[in-house]
């Protein structure tokens, strides 16, 4: 069988065995496109069912999460943890609490996480979890009871050497606190390394909260350097207004760029003077309110309820809201408006047809598994600090993060060149991540 038909046959099998999981198919197909050339050069990577094993999670846990709301009504949600691959280290990846969460979404995220984590160069495997619980509009007490119920089941599956969850959409410092508290109570042990994204007073790392957003900004700076330019004076649009978006905006501003728009699920705001991060944090982190409040609070800013944030002209676009938020129409508008760089802050926010539009137009495009790896990389730094009962300063940790992002950028660019597609960050990230994991899997035998 030719390499092409071999890869196609494995992909077809993945689609059949995982019916009704379109996001997972999308994530797998993107990696498979890059595998072709690797297998042509190194056919041994297809031996011993390595690719088939890589596509199948090592373990998938689905559980009931019952909890009682403030008025005494009982709700039942579904909890997930997909422990995808532990060839490089304990399963590592966030928990997402959002009504759209289902097994297919968790599998797509877990699959991406394997390659992202490998790219960081740190000893972490890939996993992901979450629930279809919607924290929006819920009181702190309700979120606490939900987290306690969730951890009551999850605790038997995680551990500092087994599986180390963290945050993702809908899971931030508050939720990690409740989850850690319940884990500590159930196990009667202060095992800091079981979760990352903890508060700095109780085992968390400096810069972890900022890390995904800061990391994307560092990555964009590297991409611009390749293009012979830099962030100062550049106009940037960042979709979303959650943890990734807020700190991407903060760091882009520190590096001299101007972010003129950001969004939430209700619409987007434009502020030609540059988004005021202090105001944004007050609205989103303190009050957990809608983005339209920004336009009420800041003179010169406007709120747009309908329409696409990608209509706002920019040189750099950082989609940081959720999967498949930037489609081919939006990509065409970005290209027409002169975008030069698109870097994914979220996981898989750009549809495959949008990636094609950007690629055909010669726009530098960085996939999330490279550009947003700063969050999980800093989680690995948190694990290091927990293991040695140490805590590092903000500046030292930030320098480590910046160096890791430069390393990921370099590895991605060199691998793309080596495999015949210079400038193709998707290809470079997929191949560099794959080779690292595949070498470890091959060494560990058929397990
Ligand atoms: N959910 C984040 C990611 O996708 C963070 C994961 C982690 O820190 O473990 O990379």
In this structure, what CATH number is given to the domain that contains residue 30? 1.10.285.10
pLDDT in tens, 339-369: 999 999 999 999 999 999 999 999 999 999 9
- Asked whether residue 144 falls in the same domain as residue 16, the answer is no
Most informative mutation of 124, 167, 170, 213 for ligand 1 (most atoms within 8 A of CB)? 167
Q: Residue 425: inside a domain, yes or no?
A: no
The catalytic residues are 128
Segment 291-344, tens digit of pLDDT? 999 999 999 999 999 899 999 999 999 999 999 999 999 999 999 999 999 999
User: Are 305 and 320 contained in the same domain?
Assistant: yes
Predicted pLDDT at 5: 87
CA 96 to centroid of ligand 1, rounded, Å: 10
Classify residue 204 by its DSSP letter.
Answer: P
- Judged against a pLDDT cut of 90, whether residue 3 lies above it is answered with no
**Same domain assignment for residues 120 and 172:** yes
In a shared domain, residues 285 and 351:
yes
Position 264 confidence tier, pLDDT thresholds 50, 70, 90? very high
Given a cut of 80, whether residue 1 has pLDDT beyond it is: no
Task: Look at residues 55, 80, 97 and tell me which one is the last residue of a structural domain.
Answer: 55
Confidence band, pLDDT 50/70/90 cuts, at residue 4: confident
Residues in the chain: 447
Assess if residue 376 is contained within a domain: no
Neighbours of 410 (CB within 10 A): 13
Q: Which of 306, 338, 362 is the last residue of a domain?
A: 362
Evaluate whether residue 174 is within a structural domain: yes
Tokens describing residue 29: 């197909």
Mean pLDDT across the chain: 97
46/64 same-domain check: no
- Which of the four pLDDT bands, split at 50, 70 and 90, describes residue 71? very high
The answer on 356 and 215 residing in a single domain is yes
User: What are the tens digits of pLDDT across the range 203-227?
Assistant: 999 999 999 999 999 999 999 999 9
Q: What pLDDT was estimated at residue 281?
A: 98
Residue 415 located in a structural domain? no
Which residue among 328, 346, 362 closes a domain?
A: 362
**Residue 301: domain span:** 211-362
Looking from the CA of 422 toward its CB, the CA atoms found within 13 Å total 2
Say whether both 64 and 48 belong to one domain.
Answer: no
Which residue's alpha carbon is at the smallest distance from atom 10 of ligand 1? 376
Is 96 within 8 Å of 171 (Cβ atoms)? yes
Same domain, 33 and 83: no
- Ligand 1 atom nearest to CA at 96: 1
Q: Is residue 389 part of a domain?
A: no
Q: Is 348 in the pocket of ligand 1 (CB under 6 A)?
A: no
- Percentage of the residues of the chain whose pLDDT score is greater than 90: 98
From 228, 242, 236, 425, select the one nearest 334 (Cα to Cα): 236
Both 256 and 341 in one domain: the answer is yes
Ligand 1 binding pocket includes 196 (Cβ within 6 Å):
yes
15 and 94 assigned to the same domain: no
Residue 445 and residue 439: Cα distance in Å, rounded?
10
Query: Is ligand 1 within 6 A of the CB of residue 284?
Result: no
Q: Is residue 423 part of a domain?
A: no
Q: Looking at the structure, tell me whether residues 114 and 237 fall in a common domain.
A: no
Closest CA to 161 of 444, 377, 386: 386
pLDDT tier, 78 (very low <50, low <70, confident <90, very high otherwise): very high
What gap in Å lies between CA 74 and CA 117, rounded to an integer? 38
Whether 119 has a pLDDT exceeding 90, the answer reads yes
| Domain count of the fold of the chain | 3
In a domain? residue 398? no
124 close to ligand 1 (CB < 6 Angstrom): no
| CATH number of the domain bearing residue 125 | 3.40.50.10860
Closest residue by Cα to atom 8, ligand 1, is: 376
pLDDT class of 275 with cuts at 50, 70, 90: very high
SS3 content of the chain, % helix, strand, coil (to 5): 50, 15, 30
% of the chain surpassing 70 pLDDT: 100
Residue 421: inside a domain = no
Q: Does residue 72 sit in the same domain as residue 97?
A: yes
């Amino acid at each position: 069988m030719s390499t092409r038909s071999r890869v196609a046959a494995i992909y077809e099998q993945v689609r059949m065995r995982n019916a009704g999981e379109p996001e997972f198919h999308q994530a797998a197909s993107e990696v498979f496109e890059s595998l072709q050339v690797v297998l042509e050069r190194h056919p041994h990577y297809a031996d011993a069912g390595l690719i088939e094993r890589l596509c199948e999670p090592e373990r998938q846990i689905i559980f009931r999460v019952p909890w009682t709301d403030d008025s005494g009504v009982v709700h039942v949600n579904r909890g997930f943890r997909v422990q995808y691959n532990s060839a490089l280290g304990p399963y590592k990846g966030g928990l997402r609490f959002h009504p759209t969460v289902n097994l297919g979404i968790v599998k797509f995220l877990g699959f991406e996480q394997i390659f992202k984590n490998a790219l960081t160069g740190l000893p972490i495997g890939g996993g992901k979890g979450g629930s279809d619980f919607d924290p929006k509009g819920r009181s702190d007490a309700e979120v606490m009871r939900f987290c306690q119920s969730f951890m009551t089941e999850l605790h038997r599956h995680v551990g500092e050497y087994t599986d180390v969850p963290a945050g993702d959409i809908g899971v931030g410092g508050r939720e990690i606190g409740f989850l850690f508290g319940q884990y500590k109570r159930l196990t009667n042990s202060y095992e800091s390394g079981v979760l990352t994204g903890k508060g700095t007073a109780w085992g968390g790392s400096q810069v972890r909260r900022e890390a995904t957003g800061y990391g994307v900004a560092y990555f964009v700076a590297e991409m611009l350097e390749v293009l012979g330019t830099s962030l100062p004076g550049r106009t940037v649009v960042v979709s979303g207004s959650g943890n990734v978006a807020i700190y991407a905006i903060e760091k882009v501003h520190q590096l001299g760029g101007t972010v003129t728009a950001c969004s939430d699920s209700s619409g987007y705001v434009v502020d030609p003077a540059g988004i005021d991060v202090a105001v944004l944090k007050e609205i989103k982190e303190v009050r957990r309110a809608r983005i339209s409040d920004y336009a009420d609070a800041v003179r010169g800013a406007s709120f747009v309820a309908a329409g696409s944030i990608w209509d706002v002209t920019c040189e750099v676009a950082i989609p940081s809201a959720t999967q498949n938020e930037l489609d081919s129409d939006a990509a065409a508008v970005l290209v027409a408006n002169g975008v030069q760089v698109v870097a994914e802050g979220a996981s898989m926010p750009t549809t495959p047809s949008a990636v094609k539009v950007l690629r055909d137009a010669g726009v530098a495009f960085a996939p999330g598994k490279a550009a947003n790896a700063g969050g999980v990389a800093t989680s690995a730094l948190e694990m290091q600090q927990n293991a040695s009962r140490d805590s590092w300063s903000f500046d030292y940790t930030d320098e480590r993060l910046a160096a890791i992002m430069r390393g990921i950028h370099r590895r991605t660019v060199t691998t793309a060149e080596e495999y015949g597609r210079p400038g193709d960050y998707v290809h470079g990230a997929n191949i560099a991540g794959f080779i690292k994991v595949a070498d470890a899997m091959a060494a560990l035998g058929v397990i």
